[in-house]
Structure 1
Amino acid sequence: MLHKEHQQRLYPSERHKSTRTKNIILAARLFSMLFAPFYLPLVGLIALFLFSYLSLLPLFYKIFVLSLVCVFTILIPTLLIRLYRHYQGWTLIELGHKERRMVPYVISIMCYLMCVYIMERLHIPHFMGSIITAALMIQIVCAIINAWWKISTHTAAIGGMAGALFSFGEIFGFNPVWWMCLVFLLAGLLGTSRMILRQHSLAQVVGGFCIGMVCSALTILFV
């Protein structure tokens, strides 16, 4: 009887703990989806259109560029990777294994290359194309590193945003400190989400952020 009463006292606490854990995991998944690597080049371009002299461009032209980037950096890679995953019969977690990530990397790199090529052919201003080129370089470096070590492309992408902010601050002469603080905060939340989901270690999320930031800054400033 005492044992049963003890269990009854524990069960509400255990259920509360289980619900809290599920909510944390759900929040981590939503945050990972919201800041998926494919979305960040588009976000970078939107910020460029809002906060630089490129805001003076005609609205139709900005929508055209954003649509082009959306198709080649989000829609096509997502569709092809999803088809590849379904063909293999893998879940998203299974696709995240280091040895299975190379084909998605190759798909992304080819799509980004095509986007850069089309933007060059259409003579789209360099600052717009540099964001996609920076994202492409991050993808290539991460793909090379992934052959030996599973690095976080999520934090590499948001690290690329930090590098782009620093670079455009230098180019356009504005102080990006507050924006950098926001990006660092988001990067911390994103890295924590990836660790909660057991997709990466602390070293992998920090390494991804540093690689993304360096690749983006160097590409935008010197390429």
Structure 2
Amino acid sequence: MQKKIASIISTLLHPMLMPTIGLLIIFSTQSHITFLPFEYRRLVTIIVLISTCILPLSVIPIFIQTKIIKSIHMDSSKERILPLLVTGLFFILGYYFLKKFQLPTFIPLFFLGTLVALIISLAISFFWKISIHMVGIGGVIGALIAMYIKYGVNTNMWLLICIGIAGLVGTCRLTLNAHNPYQIYAGLFLGTTAICCVVML
């Protein structure tokens, strides 16, 4: 029962959903650095959702059928390499489309930070199984920290919520024996620092 709940939570808070969830959280702060008309916000959210979630997920059945990966869980670090590479290409496509719009600087920087975190995760996956789930939620935390430090936006409430979610996700990944504690902490550190540093530049 415990593992079933952990599996459901891991699926609902999948790393491919984190850029979209992070963007929605950023928009919800209603800060001056991310102010956009509703139609623009909706369009940007759709672009991010398609490029970071829908398109990457659409190729997973092909990888399974061709035996590149055994299952959607991608239990070994080596199985993650090609899916992460393809996901990175879709991220680049999404970033290209976002740059076509006159958006507040913070939004494309947040997206660029997620791409940087993905590329580093890909490099690490050649020799170690870092937690991509924790990279995802760590990225949202990093964006919120950057908003607070660089722009003075009050993100305290969302920051506390996301830290709590990070703890929950980390616990679920450990419960499922998907990672060890070092892989959990490394993923959180990578996601947080990568996006925070890119946005702070």
Instruction: Name the TM-score, length of structure 1 as normaliser.
Output: 0.84
From the superposition, tell whether residues 72 and 83 of structure 1 become closer, same or farther in structure 2 (CA, over 3 Å).
same
RMSD: 1.6
SS in 1 for 2:167: helix
SS in 2 for 1:204: helix
SS in 2 for 1:150: coil
Q: Report which of the two has the higher share of helix.
A: 1
Aligned to 2:72: 92
Question: For the residues of structure 2 that align with 1:165 and 1:83, how far apart are their CA atoms?
Answer: 36
Q: CA deviation at 1:28?
A: 0.5
Unmatched 5+ stretches in structure 2: none
1:24 aligns with 2:7: no
Give the counterpart of 1:195 among 174, 188, 200. 174
Give the counterpart of 1:132 among 87, 111, 114. 111
Query: Does the 8 Å contact 1:81/1:107 carry over to 2?
Result: no
Question: For the residues of structure 1 that align with 2:24 and 2:171, how far apart are their CA atoms?
Answer: 26
Structure 2 counterpart of 1:134, one-letter code: G
What is the number of residues matched between the two proteins? 199
Give the counterpart of 2:40 among 61, 86, 103. 61
Correspondence list, 1:86-165, <5 A: 86-88=65-67, 90-93=70-73, 95-165=74-144
Question: For the residues of structure 1 that align with 2:96 and 2:46, how far apart are their CA atoms?
Answer: 15
Question: For the residues of structure 1 that align with 2:162 and 2:59, how far apart are their CA atoms?
Answer: 29
Bigger Rg, structure 1 or 2 = 1
Question: For the residues of structure 2 that align with 1:46 and 1:78, how far apart are their CA atoms?
Answer: 20
Structure 2 counterpart of 1:200, one-letter code: H
Correspondence list, 1:68-79, <5 A: 68-79=47-58
Give structure 1 regions of 4+ aligned residues with deviation exceeding 4 angstroms: none
Instruction: Name the TM-score, length of structure 2 as normaliser.
Output: 0.92
How far does the alpha carbon of each residue in 1:22-64 deviate from its partner, in whole angstroms, 9 at most, with x for none? x111110111011111111111211222212367522111111
Query: Does the 8 Å contact 1:44/1:131 carry over to 2?
Result: no
Unmatched 5+ stretches in structure 1: 1-22
1:35 aligns with 2:9: no
SS in 1 for 2:66: helix
